[in-house]
Amino acid sequence: MSVQMIQQRLRGYNCKTDIEEQQAIREISQEVVLAALGRGDFFKHAAFQGGTCLRIFYGLNRFSEDIDFMLRETNPAFQLQDHIKHLADELSAYGYNIEISDRNKADATVKKAFLKDSSLGKVIDLRYADQSGPMAKIRIKLEVDTNPPAASGYELKYLDFPFVSSVTAQDKPSLFAGKIHALLCREYIKGRDWYDFIWYTSNRIGINYDFLTSALNQAGPWRNRDITVDKTWLLNELKQKITLIDWKSAAEDVQRFVRADEQPSLKLWSKELFLGQLQKLD
């Protein structure tokens, strides 16, 4: 019955291509992992953040690869393995045969683990791919920032699949602040960041400037410079960034993470489009 729940969930995505089906299976698996984490005390210590959080709880219309978390209070001694060792047993009821690998260095600030499965694709019906091919393999990376910036806001959210579970998540203004930090500080251009920027600005999401200020002072080009971020400063920095980007390459990066019916919109990406979105920044 549990495997059938996964199958029914996949049908609900109404996938049109093999890539959409692959992304849907990953997202369904992410939800099962989140629900399983919610059974324990993980969310007493950590909060869900990043693109996957934005998609699952706030309606972002693109797929995401990883599951990112931040501790609600800094704790260098935090061990991710203490909270995920039960996941293999939890997920086995839904047709998964999960292998968990720990990729942590002892002194790493960001704790990482990888979940791999090669069984689910053999027990559910895939419309667009051979069940013995790469579609049958699921890989999910979990990351936890044990020394996050200060001043984040949080919300209690609920999943109802595959069972009712509660998840502590960053609120939208804090998520937007984290995304802006990535836009300004990432050492390479990631089209998914700018896709999310369109979503935030189109939905007139406010910015948690305290969290953004803390993040910029903690990591990136402005580290330890004791800056205070306001709208004027931010508009100037983003404008400079936007004018330098190769927008065709940026659009190509995000292409495989959006549905086929949205692909034509990516051809409109340009300096002018994103400078226009800046005008919607609150």
Residues 6 or more apart whose CB falls under 8 angstroms from that of 103 comprise 112, 113, 114
Amino acid at 184: L
State the pLDDT confidence band at 241, using cuts at 50, 70 and 90.
Answer: very high
Give DSSP secondary structure letters for 36-95. Answer: HHHHTTHHHHEEEEHHHHHHHHH--SS----EEEEESS--TT--THHHHTTHHHHHHTTT
**What pLDDT does residue 140 have?**
92
Q: Where in the chain is the domain with CATH 3.10.450.620?
A: 2-170
Q: What is the mean pLDDT of the chain?
A: 92
Is domain 2-170 annotated with CATH 3.40.50.300? no
Q: Is the pLDDT of residue 17 over 70?
A: yes
Amino acid at 90: E
Q: Is the pLDDT of residue 129 over 80?
A: no
Q: Is the pLDDT of residue 1 over 90?
A: no
Average pLDDT over every residue of 46-68: 96
Average pLDDT over every residue of 168-176: 98
Return d(Cα 85, Cα 21) in angstroms, integer: 28
Q: Is the pLDDT of residue 75 over 70?
A: yes
Q: What is the pTM of this model?
A: 0.94
Question: Strands across the sheet with 46-49, in order?
Answer: 99-102, 110-117, 138-145, 67-71, 46-49, 165-170, 154-159
**What pLDDT does residue 132 have?**
44
Average pLDDT over every residue of 238-247: 97
Q: Cis bond leading into 162, ω under 30°?
A: yes
**What pLDDT does residue 120 have?**
78
Average pLDDT over every residue of 84-91: 89
Q: Is the pLDDT of residue 26 over 70?
A: yes
Q: Is the pLDDT of residue 131 over 50?
A: no
Query: Which position has the higher pLDDT, 247 or 22?
Result: 247
**What pLDDT does residue 130 have?**
52
Average pLDDT over every residue of 9-29: 91
User: Could you count the other beta carbons within 10 Å of the beta carbon of residue 57?
Assistant: 19
Average pLDDT over every residue of 241-258: 96
Q: What percent of the chain has pLDDT over 90?
A: 75
**What pLDDT does residue 119 have?**
76
**What pLDDT does residue 106 have?**
67
State the pLDDT confidence band at 3, using cuts at 50, 70 and 90.
Answer: confident
Amino acid at 255: Q
Return d(Cα 230, Cα 249) in angstroms, integer: 30
Average pLDDT over every residue of 209-216: 98
State the pLDDT confidence band at 47, using cuts at 50, 70 and 90.
Answer: very high
**In this structure, what token pair is assigned to residue 125?**
């019906």
> How long a stretch of residues is the chain?
282
Return d(Cα 182, Cα 170) in angstroms, integer: 16
Average pLDDT over every residue of 244-265: 95
158 φ, ψ to 5°?
Answer: -130, 135
Q: Is the pLDDT of residue 35 over 80?
A: yes
pLDDT for 147-157, tens place per residue? Answer: 999 999 999 99
Q: How does strand 154-159 pair with strand 165-170?
A: antiparallel
